[in-house]
Structure 1
Amino acid sequence: MHDPAYLAALGELDAEGGGWIDPDTYLAPGSMHAARLAAGAAVEAALAVAGGEVAVAFSVSRPPGHHASARRAAGFCLLNNVAIAALALRSSGLAPRIAILDWDVHHGDGTQAVFEDDPDLLYASTHQSPLYPGSGSPHERGRGAAAGTKHNVTLAPGAGDDAFVAAWQGLLGEVRSFRPDAVLVSAGYDGHRDDPLANLEITEDGYRAVAAAIGTVVAESGLPGTTLVLEGGYDLRALEMSASATIEGLLEASGKVAQRGSHSA
């Protein structure tokens, strides 16, 4: 999905020992190797879930990806891992229609740009506003045939679990209506109250609740599972607790739906 000229420019900078790409994004020695591994890990995770091998796969890697567009690095991101995974899923024939759910504290401008004109890719995001990169207005809904497949909910500084969960309850209604063949999550944890990069007050309980709601939609839709791809999150303790809570929420929801189904059979 990335432009060959862009990849060549990254390769040249890497061969020269790295350097600044923009004021936020630095390519260090080894960055491109790590970025390729991160993209590959996201693809492997998505294919494992879509193929029924696992119910939950979490690609824990850096650098993150959701600010990278087809021709531009930005916001610490070199390659757009979740977008690459989505396109790999589509190429495999396992998932023609895909939903990408992004709860990083920053809007995933790169991901939205990649799929702006794609009617078979639903992108839904909650993010703090105002905040970098300044995009993600609720009025940004997709272009042309894709109008109505991109959904953005902004959260004011200081918003916590209640606002976060309520926003996703609304967005998941759009996911249900879209009827995706696969669900990918851009799982950023820089909205946690202990994270230094922003001003939201989300806790691990909020991430658990939203993950459980996603897991319920996935299970009730008959999908094989959920793939998560790590984005931001810069307080290591908060990252650890929130990621663990996310996995717990997904697994608990999937078990509850399976139990309900077995009782009614």
Structure 2
Amino acid sequence: MSATWLFAPSTNALHDTGHHPETAARATAATQALRQDPRLREACHWGTARAARTEELARVHAVDYIAQINAASDTARRQQRRLALDPDTVVSAGSYEAALHAAGAVLTAVEVVGRGEARHAFVVARPPGHHALENRAMGFCLFNQVAIAARHAQHLGFARILIVDWDVHHGNGTQAMFYTDPSVFFFSAHQFPHYPGTGSRWECGAGDGEGYTLNIPLAAGTSATEYLRAFEAGLTAVTDRFHPDFVLISAGFDAHVTDPLGQLQLTDADFVRLTHLVKAVATTYCAGRLVSVLEGGYNLATLPQTICSHVAALADQG
């Protein structure tokens, strides 16, 4: 058994965004780098994913919204053009199919990890997902893969789910979906104030979910040392009160010092440290069960190697 499985749907490129920061080249470059990295050839297994079904998406998204994305993609196909859903988010003829397979890849990753066929998995998912709300696309995102994965893990019998989001942008969609739910802990470290404007320290959940959201807002220019200190302290605070049965990572790499859409200062070595910290939580509380899902990261010159460093840290048995 390979401890780490990798998924990269061939449909990633069908989501055609045109001249846009979130381009198909991100997934292509990442997938190629992962396949060529000598550290990963023996340590990782490439899995084949399926498309998500409507009823699986509907655990977090409104059925009417799912139909809306399908219809928008169909309109784009008939009119042979891309449609703007908001100033940042576009749909092309192949976007619905790409989004179904991105979600399906994450669901498959949860299944293989849940069955014990793998300890960890990483998914090159495109389009990204953590800004997508129950009934609204935003921030480059159509379907919220990590939220869908959390509900799928619960459907498989894993009651308590920890979502760790280290994208430079706050995962407002994921937070909103679980804000009143004590069975899913949402922990995010992100630049603040920054798009989408959410993620203050005072956003900590509501109702039964109060105390099960923890945001670590960090100012632009925050050093890697300060970031890591705050992240580790926050993760400790999470596990002091919540012992997960399954861990999910919204793995955005736009907090990298070279990224054009953020102003934080992390390097590849810092993402390795973040990976080891989260992996240690999974090892301690849930037999290592961890699925990591690509979110942001927009510097094509550095993103592939950063992703490889993250996956190598996941696969490291030391």
Same fold (TM over 0.5): yes
The one-character-per-residue Cα deviations of 1:196-233 (angstroms, maximum 9, x if unpaired) are 11111111111001111111221122423311010001
Q: Which residue of 1 aligns with 2:161?
A: 98
Q: How does 1:77-88 map to 2 (within 5 A)?
A: 77-88=141-152
SS for the counterpart of 1:130 is coil
SS for the counterpart of 2:235 is helix
SS for the counterpart of 1:66 is coil
Q: How does 1:178-217 map to 2 (within 5 A)?
A: 178-217=242-281
CA contact (8 A) 1:161 1:205 kept: no
**CA 1:73–1:239: 2 relative to 1, 3 Å:** same
Deviation (angstroms), 1:175:
3.4
SS for the counterpart of 1:207 is helix
Q: How does 1:1-265 map to 2 (within 5 A)?
A: 1-17=60-76, 18-93=82-157, 95-177=158-240, 178-252=242-316, 255-256=317-318
Deviation (angstroms), 1:240:
1.4
Q: Distance in 2 between matches of 1:151 and 1:247?
A: 25
Counterpart amino acid of 2:151? L
Higher mean alpha-carbon deviation, 214-223 vs 178-187, is at 214-223
Q: Distance in 2 between matches of 1:35 and 1:189?
A: 20
Q: Distance in 2 between matches of 1:174 and 1:97?
A: 16
SS for the counterpart of 2:85 is strand
Deviation (angstroms), 1:173:
1.1
Deviation (angstroms), 1:165:
1.2
Counterpart amino acid of 1:163? E
TM-score, length of structure 1 as denominator length:
0.92
| Alpha-carbon RMSD | 1.2
Deviation (angstroms), 1:76:
0.3
Q: Which residue of 2 aligns with 1:262?
A: none
Q: Distance in 2 between matches of 1:39 and 1:172?
A: 26
Gap regions ≥5 residues in structure 1: 257-265
Q: Distance in 2 between matches of 1:27 and 1:40?
A: 19
Aligned length: 253
Q: Distance in 2 between matches of 1:2 and 1:238?
A: 33
Counterpart amino acid of 1:226? L
SS for the counterpart of 1:237 is coil
SS for the counterpart of 1:36 is helix
Gap regions ≥5 residues in structure 2: 1-59, 77-81
Deviation (angstroms), 1:51:
1.6
Q: Distance in 2 between matches of 1:196 and 1:104?
A: 13
Following TM superposition, the consecutive aligned residue runs of length 4 or more in structure 1 with deviations greater than 3 angstroms are none
The one-character-per-residue Cα deviations of 1:176-207 (angstroms, maximum 9, x if unpaired) are 23001000000000111111111111111110
CA contact (8 A) 1:215 1:251 kept: no
Higher mean alpha-carbon deviation, 61-70 vs 238-247, is at 238-247
SS for the counterpart of 1:64 is coil
Q: Distance in 1 between matches of 2:254 and 2:246?
A: 25
SS for the counterpart of 1:186 is strand
Counterpart amino acid of 1:217? V
CA contact (8 A) 1:214 1:250 kept: no
Higher mean alpha-carbon deviation, 171-180 vs 36-45, is at 171-180
